[in-house]
């Protein structure tokens, strides 16, 4: 979705000079009307009778933490229009790489892909982070990314 949705303006535009015989606009990825109109992906708080992922992971031992995860983190922070879901995913993946959190990174890499971040962009971000958050963190993250990309 590249930062745009029916309710959110684009977050970035690139302008370049092109020779007259080349098209003035080049889209990096085709986006269908269905993709554009679809609701953005975010970590969910469960649907209907199904427990949320937070409830499944920690609801038995830490029900308040699971509730805060569902209501505040996913219900408010992830739905804040200040960042597009795509940009929010890229920021989250970057933070998880920097903090060396491979278990959380695994699910957020998949979510980032569903929110429109390409595999090349994720690998590029991880490579960039190697110089800011440490080589071992980046190497761990690339291993997790390989597994996630192969699963999807």
> Looking at the domain assignment, is residue 104 inside a domain?
no
Separation of CA 128 from chain center = 17
Residue spans of alpha helices (H) in 29-79? 33-37, 53-58, 63-68
> Looking at the domain assignment, is residue 47 inside a domain?
yes
pLDDT (0 to 100) of residue 9: 46
pLDDT tens readout for residues 4-30: 444 444 444 444 566 666 665 555 555
The backbone torsions φ and ψ at residue 82, rounded to the nearest 5 degrees and listed phi first, read: -65, -30
> Looking at the domain assignment, is residue 60 inside a domain?
yes
pTM for the predicted model, two decimal places: 0.67
pLDDT tens readout for residues 45-93: 455 678 998 999 999 999 999 999 999 998 999 999 999 999 999 999 9
> Looking at the domain assignment, is residue 5 inside a domain?
no
> Looking at the domain assignment, is residue 92 inside a domain?
no
> Looking at the domain assignment, is residue 3 inside a domain?
no
> Looking at the domain assignment, is residue 56 inside a domain?
yes
Report the number of distinct structural domains present in the chain: 1
In terms of residue numbers, what domain contains 50?
43-77
């Amino acid at each position: 979705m590249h930062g745009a949705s029916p309710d959110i303006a684009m977050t970035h535009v690139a302008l370049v000079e092109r020779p007259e015989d080349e098209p003035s606009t080049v889209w990096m990825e085709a986006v269908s009307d269905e993709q554009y109109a679809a609701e953005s992906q975010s970590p969910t708080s469960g649907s209907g009778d199904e427990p949320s992922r937070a409830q499944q992971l920690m609801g038995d031992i830490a029900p308040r933490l699971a509730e805060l995860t569902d209501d505040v983190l996913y219900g408010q922070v992830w739905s804040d229009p200040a960042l597009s879901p795509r940009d929010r995913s890229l920021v989250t993946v970057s933070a998880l790489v920097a903090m060396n959190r491979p278990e959380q990174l695994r699910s957020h890499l998949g979510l980032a892909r569903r929110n429109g971040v390409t595999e090349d962009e994720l690998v590029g971000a991880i490579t960039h982070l190697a110089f800011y958050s440490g080589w071992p963190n980046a190497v761990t993250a690339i291993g997790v990314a390989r597994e996630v990309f192969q699963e999807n």
